């Protein structure tokens, strides 16, 4: 079994804002594209244009309708990928050592040459963040675009995960959680960032920001006085038009 490092030099991860995510799936498309068309190992699809398509994705977005204790029901778009947990059970359960957590930055990766596709890591992950690539027969997962963030051939602004770079609503943030002054730490602290399923004891690095309460109908009612007709009785052309319409 693979051992986890007692401590990592950095804690790279994401902050995902559930308030500003619009569920556009741009992060899903960019992740699939980058890991299939660029430096990453291709993510296969099976019968993509048929009646029963299947494929491997490292990032997915789920949409739920939720009913808060107070206020109106609202849609919440929930992106899901590997959380790069500090106490990652997917690593310790791996029988071949293919799954491992890097000491230098805390990113959890899979050495596909050693992976036998047994699926134990997927079974151990409480977040459903691992997927078996049917074509390759190995487990695949989010790499935090390790081939982008350290790539000196890319402009500095592009040295972030593809999902972060492409998000049109700015709902995804990338940084080092071991640095108290980092943007991800500041955002998480100011907005009440939380761990996903903390009861699992995995200590996920990625954080989620809760959705803010939405406007209620009562608050919108302040506009009703502005909707009162300017004239009670129509005159001129409008009066003639009313008479014509009354005949229908």
Per-residue pLDDT tens digits for 131-140: 999 999 999 9
Is the pLDDT score of 120 beyond 90? yes
In this prediction, residue 168 carries a pLDDT of 96
Average pLDDT of the chain?
A: 91
Q: Which two tokens stand for residue 14?
A: 């994401």
Q: What gap in Å lies between CA 80 and CA 16, rounded to an integer?
A: 10
In this prediction, residue 66 carries a pLDDT of 87
Q: State phi, psi for 245 to the nearest 5 degrees.
A: -70, -25
Cα angle: 71, vertex 76, 79; to 5 degrees? 155
Is the pLDDT score of 23 beyond 70? yes
Percent of the chain with pLDDT over 70: 91
In this prediction, residue 57 carries a pLDDT of 95
Among residues 69, 72, 74, 80, the alpha carbon closest in space to that of 19 is found at: 74
3-state secondary structure of 108: strand
In this prediction, residue 220 carries a pLDDT of 56
HSE, CB side, 13 Å, CA atoms: give it for residue 18.
27
**What would the pLDDT profile of 49-104 be if each residue is shown by its tens digit?**
999 999 999 999 999 998 877 777 889 999 999 999 999 999 999 999 999 999 99
Provide the whole-model pTM. 0.83
In this prediction, residue 37 carries a pLDDT of 84
In this prediction, residue 238 carries a pLDDT of 79
Is the pLDDT score of 230 beyond 70? no
Domains in the chain, ordered, with CATH?
12-215 (3.30.70.20)
150: pLDDT confidence band, cut at 50, 70 and 90? very high
DSSP state for residue 109 in the 8-state scheme: E
Looking only at the bridges linking them, the beta strands covering 74-80 and 207-209 are unpaired
Q: What gap in Å lies between CA 211 and CA 68, rounded to an integer?
A: 11
**What would the pLDDT profile of 158-193 be if each residue is shown by its tens digit?**
999 999 999 999 999 999 999 999 999 999 999 999
């Amino acid at each position: 079994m693979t051992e986890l490092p007692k401590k990592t030099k950095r804690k790279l991860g994401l902050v995902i804002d559930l308030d500003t995510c619009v569920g556009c799936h741009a992060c899903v498309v960019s992740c699939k594209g980058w890991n299939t068309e660029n430096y990453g190992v291709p993510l296969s699809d099976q019968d993509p244009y048929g009646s029963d398509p299947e494929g491997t994705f490292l990032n997915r977005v789920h949409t739920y309708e939720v009913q808060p204790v107070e206020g109106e029901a609202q849609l919440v778009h929930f992106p899901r990928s590997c959380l790069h947990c500090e106490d990652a059970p997917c690593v310790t359960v791996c029988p071949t050592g293919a799954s491992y957590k890097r000491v230098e930055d805390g990113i959890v990766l899979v050495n596909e040459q050693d992976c036998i596709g047994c699926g134990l890591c997927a079974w151990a992950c409480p977040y459903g963040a691992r997927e078996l690539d049917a074509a390759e027969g190995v487990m695949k997962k989010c790499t935090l675009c390790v081939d982008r963030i350290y790539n000196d051939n890319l402009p500095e602004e592009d040295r972030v995960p593809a999902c972060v770079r492409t998000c049109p609503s700015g709902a995804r943030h990338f940084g080092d959680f071991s640095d108290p002054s980092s943007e991800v730490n500041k955002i998480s602290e100011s907005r009440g960032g939380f761990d996903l399923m903390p009861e699992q004891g995995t200590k996920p690095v990625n954080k989620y920001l809760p959705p803010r309460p939405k406007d209620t109908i009562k608050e919108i009612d302040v506009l009703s006085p502005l909707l009162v007709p300017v004239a009670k009785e129509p005159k001129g052309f409008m009066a003639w038009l009313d008479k014509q319409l009354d005949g229908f």
